[in-house]
Amino acid sequence: MPTVVARLPAAKRHHFTEPLGPLFTDTESLLEAAGEPIVAIGDVVTAHLGAAGCQPTLSVVDGRTERGPIPEWVQTDRPAAAIERPVENPAGTITAELVDAIEAGLDTSEPTRVVVEGEEDLAVLPAVLLAPTGATVVYGQPGEGMIAAAVDGPTRARCRDRLDLLDHEAEFWASIR
């Protein structure tokens, strides 16, 4: 059983709708604006980046999109990864296992895919907090496009503020903040 280190209460979901960066509908424009390394959260985002010839340093996927199965093109266009790290992460949570896998993926020079059994929707928070300054964390905005969150002080502060809205294990997160 994975160790849950943060849980999103249903009453606070509305706090997570504002994007952490600009919205892009064109992958090429996103890549022109993105800093390195690139972290992709979500199957469709990872596939769009792959179709544009971009190999994310780290991708976090769960085999689903908008709570449904991924289309075949997503499976086809998603770039291969040298390392795959399977983790459990129930919906509406962040587990220590997910955070550890993100950290390990960012610490290696090999392209890494974290394959989540459950849901990866909240993975953007630890990804932004753990990625190096200058990186870009890309995630989907359903029905609209992709958000490119530049990893910098203000974006990390917004992620810490969102983390504070979660029921979370403060001691665990203290070393990540």
- Concatenate the DSSP letters of all residues of 40-60 into one string: EESHHHHHHHHHTT---SEEE
Backbone angles phi and psi of 143, in degrees to 5: 75, 0
Residues with Cβ < 8 Å from 100, sequence gap 6 or more? none
The binding site comprises 43-45, 62, 120
The binding site for GTP comprises 43-45, 62, 120
Distance from C-alpha of 80 to C-alpha of 99, rounded to nearest angstrom = 21
